[in-house]
Amino acid sequence: MGLFSNNKKLCPICGAPTPRLLATKVEDIPLCKDCAGKIDMQDGLDSSMTLDAFKKYIACYDENQPLREKFHETYRHSFGLFSGVIVLDEDDRLLRVKSFDGAFAFQPSEIRGFRITEDGRTLMESQNGDLLLHNTDTPQRARDMAPQITQYLMQKRDYEHFEQMERLRGRNDDESRLPPAPSFDLPAPVQRFNLDLTLDHPYWHDCHWKVNAPDFNRTEPDIAEYIQDYRNGVEEMHKLALRLIRFMNPGAKERPAQPAKSAAQAAPAAPAVNAVEELPKYKALLDAGVITEEEFAAKKRQLLGILSTHDSRVTQPSMAAFSSSTLLVVSQVKSASLRPK
């Protein structure tokens, strides 16, 4: 022990020997391992502390000892490797923002509130003892990507067809004849979820965690699949939010941030479509091989106001993706087709 401890430099808090190497210091005075192990505070606070301020911190930490000893974990939410955790003792209504047993145990009165966001937009937050739920347009923004996804899938289909033709011709060994394979690199509508927790505590003011949001399948992007993954991610954050709000207030309720709009109110009025002008555009797509006979027939019936139940089941890439604004995208795909000349 004498090799690693310095009996000449004693801890200013408890008087124990301090480490010879890599000692934690306050005002350039080394601390013993036990006192250094009690440091659990907001990042950066300890670096500017005076020795007197640190002694006050140790007193606060020691006062928290009975709560730490009573803490019995009933719930843990991990934000990923090296990304932090939230640990709850729901029976005794205690919370930790670190995973180790020596971390501060906070009581509900020490939690001011929390907010869960997606790329800065609020999804859920505590307010007046309840959980406030905000609307999100992320599923719709994913659906709005249908033209780009359709474009990529058609490029991919053309490339695979061209590659197959080259194999049949015995040219597949010459990779220089093949154009670059298409790739889908558009960002998903949401990149990450964040949780911000604010505290009323002398040594913890706020905590922040983040977790990556779901992404598209980069080989076969599918809007319905992405939306389901996104909703699963939101549901995980919702479960955490419910635990937190009930920790803060066992009688908490969920309520919307604003009155929900009906579908008729929320949906913008569809612009009038001139079937005489639109039909030739879709006929050109049919002749070019971009859409099938079935898709053309379904669109024709839709434009003429005789859409059948069968037509409404057309899925991605569906005729809904071939709106007037999408025709430009499709024409660009046709001109940039990877079919061999």
Q: What is the pLDDT of residues 21-35, one digit of tens each?
A: 889 999 999 999 999
User: What amino acid occupies position 320?
Assistant: A
Question: Rounded to whole angstroms, how far apart are CA atoms 88 and 207?
Answer: 15
- Determine the pLDDT at residue 275: 61
Question: Rounded to whole angstroms, how far apart are CA atoms 11 and 19?
Answer: 10
Count of CB atoms situated within 10 Å of the CB of 299: 25
- Determine the pLDDT at residue 303: 67
Task: Kindly report whether the global pTM for this prediction surpasses the value 0.75.
Answer: no
Alpha helices in 182-338 (DSSP H): 223-248, 263-266, 275-287, 293-303, 324-335
Q: What is the pLDDT of residues 248-294, one digit of tens each?
A: 999 999 999 875 555 555 555 555 556 667 777 777 777 766 678 88
- Determine the pLDDT at residue 128: 94
- Determine the pLDDT at residue 204: 96
- Determine the pLDDT at residue 317: 42
Cis upstream peptide for 147 (omega within 30°): no
- Determine the pLDDT at residue 305: 58
- Determine the pLDDT at residue 151: 93
Question: Rounded to whole angstroms, how far apart are CA atoms 223 and 316?
Answer: 8
- Determine the pLDDT at residue 282: 75
- Determine the pLDDT at residue 45: 86
- Determine the pLDDT at residue 101: 92
Question: Rounded to whole angstroms, how far apart are CA atoms 116 and 230?
Answer: 15
Question: Rounded to whole angstroms, how far apart are CA atoms 156 and 182?
Answer: 6
- Determine the pLDDT at residue 269: 54
Question: Rounded to whole angstroms, how far apart are CA atoms 341 and 335?
Answer: 12
The pair of structure tokens assigned to 67 is 């709560």
Residue with tokens 């929320």: 266
- Determine the pLDDT at residue 281: 75
Where would I find the beta strands (DSSP E) of the chain?
Answer: 5-10, 17-19, 25-26, 29-30, 75-78, 85-89, 94-96, 111-118, 121-127, 130-133, 192-199, 206-212, 254-256
- Average pLDDT per block of 10 residues along the chain, 341 residues long: 68 93 92 94 88 96 97 95 92 96 97 97 96 96 95 92 81 65 94 97 96 95 97 97 97 84 55 65 73 77 55 42 42 42 42
φ, ψ (nearest 5 deg) of residue 286:
-65, -45
